[in-house]
Structure 1
Amino acid sequence: MTLIVNQDAFVAAQVVDLIAKERALALSKREWKHRIAGYGYSIRETAEGDIIETLPHHVPVCALPPELAA
């Protein structure tokens, strides 16, 4: 079962770009998650992989690229 249905690819690309920029600025994974929460996003770890979702409603945006998960 897929969690992400009918998402705009352009919006997802912009969100991933923002998440990647914040990851480059953060010194730790904890700080990174705090920084992106300020933009209204969070990372949820699932069995299928990490998902970027909106706060506070936890609506999935897209899958987190594997290079950012490390």
Structure 2
Amino acid sequence: MIADNITDNRPIEHLDDVRALLLAERQKSLSETEWRFRMKGYGYQLRRTAQGVEVSRLPQNRLLGTLDA
């Protein structure tokens, strides 16, 4: 399901659906900065907070949820 959305250029709107993409891209990245940059390419904004990493959908910056720290 995730791969279909990416190849079709349709955004994934639910945090549960995007979690696998986030974790896979994090494993490919050498740093958290690179990870955030890669996710912006997919249309997601990541921001570290005390609760974890907030995931927002760009360009509206609509919060999808938070990944645990």
Do both share a fold (TM > 0.5)? Answer: yes
Per-residue CA deviations over 1:34-70 (Å, capped at 9, x if unaligned) read 111111001123454431001111101111222xxxx
- Out of 30, 34, 44, the position equivalent to 1:27 is 30
Could you tell me whether the CA contact under 8 Å between 2:57 and 2:63 is conserved in 1? yes
Are residue 41 (structure 1) and residue 59 (structure 2) matched?
no
- Residues 46-65 of structure 1 correspond to what in structure 2 (within 5 A)? 46=49, 48-65=51-68
Q: Which runs of 4+ in 1 moved over 3 A?
A: 45-49
- Unpaired runs of 5+ residues, structure 2, are 1-13
Task: Provide TM-score, normalisation by structure 1.
Answer: 0.68
| Higher RCO (C-alpha under 8 Å, 6+ residues apart) | 1
Q: Report the 3-state secondary structure (helix = DSSP H, G, I; strand = E; otherwise coil) of the residue aligned with 1:38.
A: helix
Q: CA RMSD in A?
A: 1.5
More strand by share: 2
Task: Provide TM-score, normalisation by structure 2.
Answer: 0.69
